[in-house]
Each structure stands twice: as C-alpha cells, then as structure tokens.
Amino acid sequence: MLRYATNRILLMIPTLLGVAVLVFFMLRIVPGDIVEIKLRGDGGTVTQETIELERKRLGLDRPLINQFGTWMVDMARLDFGNSMWTERPVVTEIAGRFELSFQVAIMATIIAILLAVPMGTAAALFRGTWIDYTVRLITIGGLSIPSFWFGMIIMLTLLSLFNWLPPITFTPIYVDPIANLTQLIWPALAVGYRYCAVVARMIRSSLLEVMNEDYIRTARAKGVYEKLVVSRHALRNALLPAITVIGLEFTFLIGGLVVTEQVFNLNGIGQLFVQSVSRNDFTLIQGMVMLIAAFYVFVNLAIDLLYAVFDPRIRYNS
Amino acid sequence: MTVVEADSAVRNPPHAQPVAVPLLQVEDLHTQFHTSRGIVRAVEGVSFSVDRGEVVAIVGESGSGKSVTALSIMRLLPRLTGKIPQGRVTFDGKNLLDLGDEEMRAIRGRDISMIFQEPMTSLNPILTIGLQIKEPLLIHLGMTEEQAQERAIELLHLVGITDPARRLDQYPHQFSGGMRQRVMIAIGLACNPKLIIADEPTTALDVTIQAQILELMKNLSRKLNIALIIITHNLGVVARYADRVIVMYAARVAEQGPAEQLFHRPRHPYTMGLLRSVPRLDHPRGSKLETIEGLPPNLANVTKACRFAPRCPFKIAICEQEPPLYPTDTGSLSRCHRHAEIAEGKITWSTHSGAGLNFAANTEAPVLTVKHLTKHFAVSGGLRGTSGTVRAVQDVSFDIFPGETLGLVGESGCGKTTVGRLILRLEEPSEGEIHFEGVNLSTASAAQLKTMRRKVQVIFQDPYSSLNPRMTVGQIIGEPLHVYKIVNGRKQNEERVAYLLENVGLRPEMAERYPHQLSGGQRQRVGIARALAMEPSFIVCDEAVSALDVSIQGQIINLLEELQRKFRLAYLFIAHDLAVVRHISARVVVMYFGRVMEVADRDVIYSGSLHPYTKVLLDAAPVPDPTIEKQREPRLIKGELPSHMAPPNGCVFNTRCPMASQECREVIPPLEEKRPGHFAACIKV
C-alpha cells in the first residue's frame, strides 16, 4: 500500500509537468496582454516605450522557452513567483482564498453525506413507495436547480426573515468560529444540495443492485436480522461507487464555484480565477492551475486508497 | 468436532426409532410471481415430505419450479412479486407459512439452512469468512465472540479446509470456487440445523470438485443426522446421493418415489424420456442421442391438459385433462393417466434408428493441424507489484480431419478455451503453429487470413449473452453474409437466412424475432445458423451445449451431428462433460493445467484410458444409475487445481495424482504413443 502510494505520488510529476506545459503555452496563445490591460485598461495614454519597459521588467520580452524554463526552475524550488498585477507572491494571493474554498467544500461534503446516505438508503429499501418518490423528487430538484439560484433564494429568504446579509469580509474559523460558520453554512448548503442529490441517487441505484446480490440472499438465509442485512451486508458494498462520486464532486468545488461565490460575496478561488484571467495575470493563473491540478491528483489518490480500505478485493501491493 | 457430535446426539439420540411425523411436510404448495406480464404460476400444488436424516432430490429442467419450491419453504421469495396463495409447509410441527417475519428469521440458519448454486457470488466480498461463519452462531445461539471463533475453526476443519484459524481472517476472493462452497457448507452447518436445502450446490464446479463437495455433504448429513434436500438437474448426482427423488415438470410434480424405483422403473413418460436423453458413460454409445422433442410450456398461460402432453409421444384423448398423482405399482406417485400401461411395459419410447456416424480412418489431409501450440500470458499485479507468466497452453499438438469431431475435455482453467481462441486467432500464440487447410496461419497473407476467418467459425457457450439483443435473428444471421458478400441484395439475403434457419430446425418466420423472445435451445440454434452462414469447413464448439437442459442438449447435439454429415464439417468440441464429449467425438484430447494428458480414440479413452488424470476424471462423474452409484466407492481426487502463478515442478498433475512419486516431481513427462494411436503423458504407464 505504501509503495503504491509512493508510486502514485511520483507519477504526479509527469502529470503536473504536462499540465504546466499546457497551461503555460495556452495562456500565451490567448489574445490580450497584461501590460496593455494594466497601463491602458482605463483608457490612459501611455507611450509604447513605457509598455516595452514594463514588459521587460516582467520578463515578458524574453523568448517563450526561456520564460518557461525560468518558471519551471522556480517551481522546482517551490517558488511560484509574484502576481504580475498586484506584485504580491502568488502563494499569498492563493492561500487566503484557498482556505475559504476548501472550508466550503468540506462543509458541503459533510452536509451532502449526512443527507445522502439516509435518503438514498430509504429510497432503495422502500422502492416504489411514497418515500422513494419523495427522495427522487428532492434529488431531481438538486440536479436541476443551479446552485447559485438556490443560493440566491437562501439569501433572499434570510434577508426577508432575519434581515441578515453576508458580511463583506471573511472570518477564519480559528478567529471566530461562530461568525465563520454563520457566514459559510449558507453557501455550503446551497452547493451541498446539488452534491447530496448526486450522491443520494448513486447510493439508491447501487443499493438496489446490491440488494439483489446472491450474498444478500445468503445473509437472509442465515437468519441475519434485516437491519444487519442492510447495514452490514448491503450498505457497505453499496457505498463503494458513491465514494468515487463524492471525490469527483469535492474536487470540483475547489475553483468551480465562480457564480455561487459571487452570490454569497465570498472571496474564494473561483473569484480569484475570474479576476486573474480577465487581467491576463499569467503567473497567478499558472500557479492556481498547478495548485488545483495537484489537489485533484491528491484527492483521486486518496479515493483509490479509501477504496482499498473498504474493499478487501483491492490490494495495491500484490 | 466433539462439540458437534455431542450436540446432535442430544437432539437426535442415535438409537431412537424414526419419528412417525416427517420433519418437513409440504402440502399443496402454490407459488406465484406477479409480474408486469401477468401472473406466473411457478409452483402449483406441490406436496412432498422429508424425514429426519433423509436425502431427497428435486430434479427438473430450468423453470420447472424446483428452486422456487426451496425458496418458498425458506420464505425467501422476492418480496414485491413472490406470493404463496395456498399451501402448508409444516416443519417440526409449525406451519412456516403462518409464522411472522421475526419467527421465520429465527428458523432460517438455525433449523433450516440453505446452500446456493453460485459459490462465487453467494459470499459477501467485503466481509471476512470468519465473520460470515460466526454470524449465525452469534445471532441464533447467542455465543460469545470466543466461543463463536472456536466453533468457526471447528467448522472449517469439518469441511476440510486446512489451516482454519488463519483462513478465518481471509476474504472470499482468496478462496477458490470449491473452497468457497465448503465455506458455504460450513455456514449451513454452523447451528446444527435439522434440514439443509442445497440448490444446485455443485453445478458451478468441476467434476472432481463436485465429487469432493457432494461426498462431504452426504457424509456430514449421515454423521449429524441432518436431512438434505438436493435440488439439481444432474441425474448422476441424484442417483448417487438421493434416497428419494421428486421429478418436477412445468411447476408440478411429475413423479416422485424412492430413487432405485424411479431410475429403474420410471412410471411417467417424462422421467423415462429424461433418463434416456442423458448421454451416459457406462452405456455403449448409441448412434444418435435420444431426445424429448419440443419445449416446456410457458407458465404464464397453461391449459387444463396434462402439461407434458405436447411433448409426450403417448398422448391419448384423456390427456386433455390434467392427471392427478396416481399411486403406482412401484410405490412411487406418477402424474400420468397411463402409468398402469407403463408398468405393464406396453409403453416404451421408440429408439432412433438413424444411421450412426461413420468414423472411417481418414486418409485425407487434415483440415486443421496444431503443432506445439503454446500461449503464455504476462500478468502483473498493481503498478510495480509481482509479475509473472501464466502458462495457459503448453505444447499442444493435434490434427482434425474433414468431417471429424475432436473432443477437448478438461476442467476449468486447463486451457481448453484458450486453445479454441488461438485457433480462431482471437489470441496470438506465443509459440507453435496452426495450419488451416495447409496454410500456416502465422505467416499467412491478409487475403488468406480473410478466407480462414470465413471458413473457421465458432459456437459459444452462453446462448443468452452471445447474441446481440438489439438485432433480429435475421439480422444476426444475415450480417456476415453481407460483410463477406456471399449474397447479393436483400432478397437473396432473406432467402439464404430462411434456408439456414430451416437447416437448424427453426421456422423461417423466426427471422423477425429478437433473441429475448427465444428459448435457450432456440438461441443456440440461431448461433449455429450464424456459424453455418459462412459455409465453414471447421467449427469450434466452445461448451456449446453445457448451458442447456438435458432434453434440449440432446436436440442440439443431434443437430450438430446431422449438419456435420450434410456439410462435411469438422468440429473441435470443447467441453467439460465427459459423456457429451464421448458421444460426439471421434478422438478425444484430455487437457490438464495447460498440457495434453492423453489423446485417444473415443472408445479407448472411455474404456481403456491410461493416464491417471483421465481415470480420475471418469471416476468422478456420477452416472444416472443408483444401483451402480451406491455400490461404488468414489476414488476421490485430492486437492485442487494448482495456482497458475506457482505451477508444480515436473508433471503438472503430480500434486493431485494418486500414483505420483519423486520422479514425477522432477521430469515433465512427454506425450508418447503408448499404443497405436493412443498417446499419454505419464511416465508410470
């Protein structure tokens, strides 16, 4: 297992290298120039000379391959450079935002799992009854209602009932947990609804399948209590495919919540992404893409390892 | 071990007189399935009883209601669709059908346990074997964890699993099929039940393993005085193990009685027909297999007439009314109006008088020659885990002549299917040559290969999954005709499809149907028609009849033989059923663990085999005759197939061979001609 994990982590290097090449050269193809936007963006008149000077200062005049090389060498030293726009280190720019996005993702996952497991299980066990139909109605809603719209509904409800508006600044959880949670629970709920719908439907269908397996019949023939048949024999098997879905959704939440963040006035990774792309802030975009790619690979590895924990048939070292 | 005996002795004192009341009494049981297409009456009016310690077999073809009967007794029918509108199941003085869910749960696994057909899927893959064995002990007997652990070790020991303490912590995937079935038996025995219902317990297993498992079950049931209901379609198994037999046909009992009587003096035409249709190892081979023509009725709409009447050659006017179960002269019960005439010997099935296959010595060039065929598969586990080679096929050579059938037998994992795939060029051989009609396939040009692909065809085992469900029969058969431009235009294609369907005994209108609208036998006929469409000279039949019921199996084998004569086809007939192979083949190749063990003419293989493996294989297969079977002590082959990752040194069979010596562990025996035309790979013969 350890060897497998090490191998997988080593395999991240070529994966991330591929990502780096792609993002670097694709950004250079996209029209637009940070210096132009920075200096002429507000309609200001700047001489071509000043622009050239600024480009030179940012190193944008050097051959592409040269720039790429420098970036690679810096990254190898874990130096992600400075934002071309704000001049602050990329790491500092990302860190605060990441903290927020990560917390929302974690909270949404917890909400989703807490809701999805009982809902999916009940729907499968009472298939074809009103319980099943209710769950299916709720989950189809989760899939078809966009998170940001649901978020807006939550906001408006909170506003009209409690006259509550989201604070403008973000309070980290270690500073004031209550303030932090009251701020983030709503976006987490808005995103978690969709998330839970996906997972609940997955659990329902896989549990339906598992309940028809021969080993469930065996368990019943042994005289195992029906509750135990479900919880020990069926549910554990049925949760395996749900783990994959949970992992995929979780990674999506980091950086994928552009509009929802806007609705709740959150300064998350999604917002930063939009901002930096509209400014052509190469170093920042590159840094964020690399970070998300690395995160994605890590979460996937974690899922695969989790699989081995749940399913004894999967053993990575033999 | 002592605990087991002590416990059962208390419950069933060894010297007590047999109790007058049977342990289980099923009376007038009706089971229905309410499906979207109407009510299917899967079991209708079935009555039988089982005494303490008795072995009762329920036989019948698929869909006859034998498994549903068992599930009804256990009350394990699908909840939404399965209903029991009528009947009584009295077990130990209680009507099981009246019990509440909780009371019934307390009986399952405690007093009645059940062993299922598929050992590969009947154990929970993510729970340890230990937990799965201990579960009933903890639930029913209220044992502590330590007591249960001790008893589980004892049970594994009882069913012949070595190193039980360590194996308790393992998961099902770490056990072979035979071992898993032993675990299932251990679970069944856990609480010392009074009755075990085994639903096709060995159907998924090889013959040598089947013999081990059945002997084990029989011995344990004798020793612990447990009554046993064996549900099976294998008449050989019934003959060997059953005291009494219940023959089911189309949801009803056709005949029931003591095993000896039923086999030697059957009093129902269906039983008679069934016994005749089984190809037998202990009888001289007939020219043509006897069959029961036609198909069982559809249970969704049955008439008032005798259910077997449409297939019965002795049908008379009175058969328009359903017969009751008549008591007969032999003491068995028969659902036939004419049982008395059968008893007087006035009614017998006529035998086929068709000309036998003529296996004259072939002087022509062989259609297919296989020389030193070898196939190794590289396997690796995980990313940089252990890797190795599986020697699936090692140094296999044989010839097949035009119009001849070569039988290829062996247990699962022996490489017989791989040989078939290599010949079809679905796999590339690692070494060796295949010559088809004189052309070496490894050096053949693209055009030659294309011809070969046309002239070499295949019939697969599973008639359910080998036909595309979204194509009509006409499209399935017509597609290759189109691809190879054998016909021009739609009209010609349709004519050709109709001709092919007629050749395999189907009506041309069948071309409009979809596979799911056909029965298993009909689908297999479609598979044969598809193969014939290419005008092949050679067909690989990979377990072509093993998924079919006995009466249907005979029909298909006869069809294959008829087509062979008509079109001078050569067959490679791959199968695990020795009796079937013997019937159809001219020569037989016996494989074990990738190697050829013995090659000989069919009669020689069955009457004068030399290789110990062939002998063991022949010995392990029970024949449908209770007198012979009950006298015979099985020469039980020990152990299981070795792991492909760690093949044995020397002779591959030495780990299980009764004759093996030190020498066998050192030398790989070559395939030698021991007698003219009779080859064996064994240094001891």
Which of A215, A226, A310 is the closest to B124 by Cβ?
A: A215
Cβ of B121 within 8 Å of Cβ of A7? The answer is no
Is A14 in CB contact (< 8 Å) with chain B?
no
What pTM did the predictor assign?
A: 0.81
In this prediction, residues B308-316 reach a mean pLDDT of 89
Q: What is the pLDDT of residues B594-608, one digit of tens each?
A: 999 999 998 888 888
Closest CA to B510 of B523, B491, B528: B523
Query: For residue A136, what pLDDT is reported?
Result: 94
Compute the nearest-CA separation of A232 from chain B (Å).
9
Q: What is the mean pLDDT of residues B10-16?
A: 46
3-state class (DSSP) for residue B61: coil
Residues on B contacting A at a C-beta cutoff of 8 Å? 74, 76, 80, 101, 105-110, 113-114, 116, 118, 121-128, 135-136, 139-140, 171, 173, 184, 187, 381-386
pLDDT of residue B353 exceeding 60, the answer is: no
Q: What is the pLDDT of residue B356?
A: 45
Sign of the four-CA dihedral B132, B133, B134, B137 = positive
pLDDT at B387: 64
Q: Which pLDDT value is given to residue B380?
A: 61
Q: Which residues lie closer than 8 Å to B470 by C-beta, 6 or more apart?
A: B514
How many angstroms separate the CA atoms of A18 and A150, rounded? 37
What was the pLDDT predicted at B634? 67
For the record, the structure tokens of B450 come out as 């294309």
Of A214, A221, A318, the CB nearest to B121: A214
3-state secondary structure of A18: helix
Residue B557 predicted with pLDDT over 80: yes
Question: Which residues of A are less than 8 Å from B204 in CB distance?
Answer: none
Q: Summarize the confidence of residues B642-655 as an average pLDDT.
A: 84
Task: Please answer yes or no on whether B76 and A220 come within 8 Å at the CB atom.
Answer: yes
Give the Cα separation of B589 and B597 in Å (integer). Answer: 8
A305 pLDDT above the threshold of 60: yes
CB atoms inside a 10 Å sphere around CB B51: 18
Token digits for A213? 């397996």
Q: What is the percentage of chain A residues whose pLDDT exceeds 90? A: 28
Q: Which of B456, B268, B255, B470 is nearest to B368 (CA)?
A: B456
Cα dist from A189 to A153, A185, B218, B622, B676, whole Å? 12, 6, 61, 66, 83
Pair B407, B585: CB distance under 8 Å: yes
Asked if B113 lies within 8 A of A316 by C-beta distance, the reply is: no
How far is the CA of B135 from the CAs of B6, B190, B254, in angstroms?
A: 22, 9, 39
Percent of chain B as helix, strand, coil, to the nearest 5: 35, 20, 45
Q: Are A222 and B127 in contact (CB < 8 Å)?
A: no
Could you read off the pLDDT of A183-240 as tens digits, one per residue? 888 889 999 999 999 999 999 999 999 998 999 999 999 999 999 999 999 999 999 8
User: Inter-chain contact A223–B139, Cβ cutoff 8 Å?
Assistant: yes
**pLDDT of amino acid B383:** 41
Does the pLDDT of residue B362 top 90, yes or no? no
Is B124–A3 a contact, with Cβ atoms under 8 angstroms apart? no
C-beta separation of A196 from A119 below 8 A = yes
Interface probe for A, chosen from B102, B123, B383 (most Cβ of A below 10 Å), is B383
Q: Are B6 and B25 in contact (CB under 8 A)?
A: no
Give the nearest chain A residue to B170 (CA atoms). Answer: A312
Report pLDDT for A39. 72
Number of CB pairs < 8 Å for A and B? 94
- Rg of chain B over CA atoms, in angstroms? 26
Q: With 90 as the cut, is the pLDDT of residue B287 above it?
A: no
Q: Considering chain B, what is the average pLDDT of its residues?
A: 86
pLDDT at B374: 93
pLDDT at B643: 78
User: Where does the pLDDT of residue B113 fall: very low under 50, low under 70, confident under 90, or very high at 90 and above?
Assistant: very high
Residue B2 has pLDDT above 80, yes or no: no
Please state the φ and ψ torsions of residue B588, each to the nearest 5 degrees. -130, 135
B95 has a pLDDT exceeding 60: yes
The identity of residue A317, as a single letter, is N
Residue A233's pLDDT is 93
Q: What CA–CA distance (Å, rounded) separates B632 from B359?
A: 33
Whether residue A223 and residue B107 make contact (CB cut-off 8 A), yes or no, is: yes
B370: left (phi over 0), alpha (psi -120 to 50) or beta: beta
Contacts of A310 in chain B (CB under 8 A): 126
DSSP state of B267: -
Each residue's pLDDT tens digit, B150-180: 999 999 988 888 888 888 999 998 888 888 8
CB contact under 8 A, B127 and A232: yes
Read off the pLDDT of residues A87-112 as tens digits, 9 standing for 90 and up.
888 888 888 888 888 889 999 999 99
- Give the pLDDT score at B14: 46
What is the structure's pLDDT at B635? 62
pLDDT at B592 (0 to 100): 92
Would you say B626 and B236 are in contact if contact means Cβ atoms under 8 Å apart?
no
E strand or H helix that includes residue B242 = none
Partners of B41 in the beta sheet?
B32
Q: What residues of A are in contact with residue B91 (Cβ under 8 Å)?
A: none
The tokens for A22 are 């792609």
pLDDT at B5 over 60: no
| Per-residue model confidence (pLDDT) at position B419 | 93
pLDDT band at B386 (very low <50, low <70, confident <90, very high): low
Residue B15 tokens, joined? 């010297």
C-beta separation of B221 from B241 below 8 A:
no
> How many angstroms away from the CA of A17 is the closest CA of chain B?
20
Distance CA B307, CA B34 (A): 21
As a whole number, mean pLDDT of residues B461-478 equals 88
Ranges B228-242, B350-364, B488-502, B612-626: which has the least confidence:
B350-364
Is B76:B59 a contact under the CB 8 Å cutoff?
Answer: no
Out of B76, B113, B173, whose CB is closest to A313? B173
Q: Identify the DSSP state of B673.
A: E
Partnered with residue B398 across adjacent β-strands are B370
Q: What are the structural domains, with CATH classification, of chain A? A: 2-76 (no CATH), 91-310 (1.10.3720.10)
Note whether B109 contacts A316, CB cutoff 8 Å.
Answer: no
**What per-residue confidence (pLDDT) applies to B286?**
63
How many whole angstroms separate alpha carbon B325 and alpha carbon B588? 44
**What's the 3-state SS for A193-207?**
HHHHHHHHHHHHHHH
Per-residue pLDDT at A119: 95
Q: At B9, list the tokens.
A: 């002795």
Does the beta carbon of A217 lie under 8 angstroms from any beta carbon of chain B?
yes
Measure CB to CB from residue A221 to each of B80, B109, B383 and give the nearest one.
Answer: B109
Q: How confident is the model at residue B7 (pLDDT cuts 50, 70, 90)?
A: very low
Using the beta-carbon criterion (under 8 Å), do B384 and A3 form an inter-chain contact?
yes
Based on its alpha-carbon atoms, the radius of gyration of chain A, rounded to whole angstroms, reads 24
Contacts of B184 in chain A (CB under 8 A): 218
pLDDT value at B133 more than 50: yes
Q: What is the pLDDT of residue B1?
A: 39
Chain B residues within 8 A of A218 when measuring between CB atoms: 114, 116, 122-124, 184, 187
Average pLDDT over residues B396-406: 91
Distance from CA of A10 to the nearest CA of B (A): 12
Q: Which residue has the tokens 């431009």?
A: B485
With CB atoms and an 8 Å threshold, state whether A222 touches B135.
Answer: yes
- Nearest Cα neighbor of A281 from A64, A40, A30, A51 is A30
The answer to whether the Cβ–Cβ distance between B124 and A221 falls below 8 Å is no
> In chain B, whose CA is at the least distance from the CA of A3?
B384
* A72: nearest Cα among A127, A121, A13: A13
Yes or no, beta carbons of B122 and A233 under 8 Å apart: no
CB within 8 A of A79, min separation 6: which ones? Answer: none
A33-42, B431-440, B562-571 — which is least confidently predicted?
Answer: A33-42
B139, B184, B386 member nearest A224 (Cβ): B139
- Cα–Cα distance between A32 and B111 in angstroms, integer? 80
Interface of A with B in 94-153 (CB under 8 A): 128
Find residues 253-312 of chain A whose CB sits inside 8 Å of chain B.
310-312
H or E element: which one contains B379?
A: strand B368-380
Q: Round to whole Å and give the CA distance between B88 and B98.
A: 9
Of A222, A233, A236, the CB nearest to B136: A222
User: Residue A32 — left, alpha, or beta (φ > 0 → left; ψ -120 to 50 → alpha)?
Assistant: left
Task: Give the residue among B91, B73, B78, B88 at the shortest CA–CA distance from B197.
Answer: B73
According to the model, what pLDDT value does residue A317 have? 53
Q: What is the mean pLDDT of residues A244-272?
A: 84
Select from B173, B187, B385 the Cβ nearest to the Cβ of A222: B187
C-beta atoms of A226 and B105 within 8 A: yes
Distance separating alpha carbons of residues B281 and B619, to the nearest angstrom: 10
The two tokens of residue A288 are: 């964020």
Sign, Cα dihedral of B337, B342, B347, B353: positive
User: Chain A residues with CB inside 8 Å of B107's CB?
Assistant: 223
Q: Does the beta-carbon distance from B121 to A213 stay under 8 Å?
A: yes
